[in-house]
Structure 1
Amino acid sequence: MNLITDSWIPVLNQDGNRATIKPAQLADPNVMELDLPRLDFQGAAYQLLIGLLQTTFAPADVDEWMDYYDNPPSEDDLQLAFDDVIHAFHVDGDDARFMQDFDTLEHISSTNSVANLLIEAPGGNTLKLNKDFFIKRDLVEQLSLPMAALALFTLQINAPSGGVGHRTGLRGGGPMTTLIRPDDTDSTLWQKLWWNVINRETLSYPDPDFSNGSVFPWLAETRVSDKTGEPIYRDEVHPLHIYWAMPRRIRLIIDTPSDEQSASDLIDDVTGEPCLQVVSQYRTQNYGHNYEGDWSPHPITPYRNNPKKPDDTPFSIKAQPGGINYKLWHMLTFTGKEGNSGFVRAKVLDHANEIYAASDGAISASGLWAFSYDMDNMKARGFYSKELPIYHIPSSQQIQLLETVLKLHELSDSIIKQLRNSIKYSWMSERQAKDSKGDMSMIDNMFWQRSEPLFFSAVEDAVNNGGKLTPTAAIDWLSKISKLTERLYEEQVLSSAVVKQRHMEQLNNLRAFLYGNKQLAAFRNRYKSTKENS
């Protein structure tokens, strides 16, 4: 099987019907969206196809980018470009295999279940101790070749720490990915992908060599990273290597049906569909490619560095417990140029602003699709995905807008702290509350989720006002956030069958904070006086 020449990509067409296409058909105007069976596979497939386009079909400049956005290439044109890399996308066979070690690893006697390619699969120790309570063993025993290849790619680009010598991904374990989404809700799949392909004037790099492993590492022997091995740094590989990094040494074992076995007996456990060949096991070897050093700025991943320690290596931003919410928004959309913030956004955002300016606003993006695993070392606590708004604003206003956003976060943090304490002291006696170390994060999560519309309404006002809040918007935000805070308290405390005296006392304390706290009062009075004087 070959990922370039075979039809394997499940998509949704304009009429809502499902189809399976090959990569050269991506620009078909009838194809609207990918349709993978898992959300992490959906995100990985986007990254694979974006990487393929960037590697083989990147536009020369902004003008060519805009030409292809409105007038997509033909299937023949795409196939001609992809032909250059067919040899790198075999999933099986005797030659080099996609995302698999150059060595066949046949000297490795032990094998692993294909389920272990899935990042959330329970580990060996969990199975040994029978602790797979929530994510059960044996749910996935075999995958079709396309799904096995995609599972492998998903693991390689997200690879968390996996024990001694099992290396993390180039961007660290479970990195945040941020992809541009078009303004037009009726955009085709081609336009959704193309927004994340950067023209070669902006993302400058020499013409690649597709034969020596500098772009596709599986085409050459692995640089073993044991005690005598050396790590890989950015300047040692081609810039396009960043899309195809391969930290794990893995070789899939392909099962072919026996003479007695019908092809219909082979079922992919993720899609539930029959297939001709399956993967049920793989071999692995530790001490694969060890990526170190600074890999920022990255085309599709935001990073952060410590402004106080400029020599420290930047690290990729990752999801945290509670998911992706607007508290992370400025980390994903701002860059270190604004007030030495330390944020280094993905280059696709800079490119989106470039396209917007070059087209005089005719071609615009309005969304940022952010997704990431939330990892606790080797354990996946969850996979989060969220679409957040983005705005095309002049760079001269970025610093002011960031200051506005950080101020709203500062006030929100103080409100959440008081809300959490008020609820805690309502649920328990004062002595119990002081000693309690229970998890109150659900209160924080509820606040961030339900206050999100208020936040972005305020941000949009600031965007239209040079990065500053208008007095009306500022007072409106504080008023509504205060009412929301009271509602959250009432839902968590006063909705119970028995309302005690301490419940009302804590409600009064919360109200006193919302309308008398120095920070909140200063914010309210500042904008109130400005409004009265205007």
Structure 2
Amino acid sequence: MNYQSFEHPLSPHYVKDGIANPVHPQPGGIGYRHWLGLIENSVDGNNERRPARVIQQFRLTHEDSRMWAFGYDMDNMKARCWYDATMPILAIEEGLEADFKAYIEKMVQAASLTAGMLRKQLKLAIFGEVEVRGDISFMQSHFWNATEGEFFEQARRLRTAIKQGDSEQVVLEHWLSTLKRAAYAVFDTYSQTGDFDAADPRRVALARNELAKSLNGKKLRDLLGLPRQERSAA
């Protein structure tokens, strides 16, 4: 049976070549990094992800609630894993949705960028320059899980700031600090900086230093729309 072009009302979809396809869970589970596409529409160039129709319809009520997302991670016809998670649906007043969505996008994108920085330096710390095929995605999953609770808390604070006409900068600065702390903590956990039998201490130190440079560089601040910090005079 051909289900092409049929959109199940309980499934989120991605649009490719003008055709909507259902989204399935992927390795690593479901979390706030999927907010864009599960709760909010997401358009990146020619790629579009949109929530299930029931979510789109419910959000018209402008009421807070929770969403339960679940499904199998499939490899062709083989089920690899079952995933499920809940996350809040935060109502935002009509006319303020665009601002809220724009800042939420920045927060998720900043977390994704941080996770990439962390992965790169963890590979260097543990394996050096050698190309390794092993799966270290669980290390990034640790980072995502460690920051999820704070993401939803800051999303609520962001909503309040937008509603009251306050600056969002305090929320975004707090979020950036959260990402940095989590990245350092996860790096230290898996690079085993205190166990010199398990890793080259010099390599670990150099990788951590590079991680610090990335976390404190301009990319994250620019992505979040935060002013660059002035370096103190020597």
TM class by smaller structure:
0.7 to 0.9
Aligned to 2:232: none
Could you report, residue by residue, the CA deviation over 1:342-396 in whole angstroms, capped at 9, with x for unpaired residues?
3332232234334x45xxxxxx442001101100001111011111110122353
SS at match of 2:189: helix
Query: What pairs with 1:83-98 in structure 2 (closer than 5 Å)?
Result: none
Q: Secondary structure at the match of 1:305?
A: strand
The 1:378/1:496 distance shift into structure 2, 3 A limit, reads: farther
Residues 302 and 316 of structure 1 are in contact (CA less than 8 Å); yes or no, is this contact kept in structure 2? yes
Counterpart in the other structure of 2:154 = 458
Does the Cα contact within 8 Å between 1:366 and 1:391 map onto a contact in 2?
A: yes
Quote the residue 2:95 is aligned against: 396
**Residues 221 and 228, structure 2, Cα contact 8 Å, conserved in 1:** no
Root-mean-square deviation over aligned CA pairs: 2.8
Is the 1:300–1:348 contact (alpha carbons within 8 Å) kept by the matching residues of 2?
yes
Q: Helix, strand or coil: the match of 1:466?
A: helix
Q: What is the DSSP-based 3-state SS (H/G/I as helix, E as strand, rest coil) of the residue aligned with 1:439?
A: coil
Secondary structure in 2 aligned to 1:371? strand
Tell me whether 1:295 sits opposite 2:17 in the alignment.
no
Residue 35 of structure 2 aligns with an amino acid whose one-letter code is W
Structure 2 counterpart of 1:519, from 219, 222, 226: 219
Match of 1:449, SS state, is helix
**Is 2:133 aligned against 1:437?**
yes
Measured against aligned partners, the alpha-carbon deviations of 1:302-341 in whole angstroms (never above 9, x if no partner) come to 11214xx4xx32001110001111111221112479x997
Identity of aligned residues (%): 24
- The corresponding residue for 2:206 is 505
Q: Read off the aligned partner of 2:4 and give its amino acid letter.
A: G
Deviation of the 1:404 alpha carbon: 1.7
Given that 1:319 and 1:372 are in contact with CA atoms closer than 8 Å, whether structure 2 keeps it comes out as yes
CA gap of 1:387–1:500, structure 2 versus 1, over 3 A, is same
> Is the Cα contact below 8 Å between 1:458 and 1:469 reproduced in 2?
no
Alignment of 1:99-138 (within 5 A): none
SS of aligned partner of 1:526: coil
Q: Tell me which of 184, 187, 206 is aligned to 1:489.
A: 187
Deviations 1:82-115 (A, max 9, x none): xxxxxxxxxxxxxxxxxxxxxxxxxxxxxxxxxx
Counterpart AA for 1:295: F
Displacement of 1:466:
3.4
**Change beyond 3 A, Cα 1:300–1:480:** same
Q: Is the 8 A contact 2:68 2:87 kept in 1?
A: yes
- The structure-2 alpha-carbon separation of the partners of 1:525 and 1:374, relative to structure 1 and needing over 3 Å to count, comes to closer
Gaps of 5+ in 1: 1-289, 358-363, 530-534
Q: Deviation string for 1:12-65 (max 9, x for gaps)?
A: xxxxxxxxxxxxxxxxxxxxxxxxxxxxxxxxxxxxxxxxxxxxxxxxxxxxxx
- 1:464 maps to a residue whose letter is T
- TM-score using structure 2 length: 0.83
What corresponds to 2:76 in structure 1? Answer: 377
Segments of 5+ residues of structure 2 without an aligned counterpart are 230-234
Q: Which has the higher contact order (CA 8 A, sep 6+)?
A: 2
Match of 1:347 in 2: 53
CA distance in 2, matches of 1:318, 1:335: 16
Pick which of 415-424 and 392-401 moved more: 392-401
Aligned residues: 223
* Secondary structure class of the residue paired with 1:447: helix
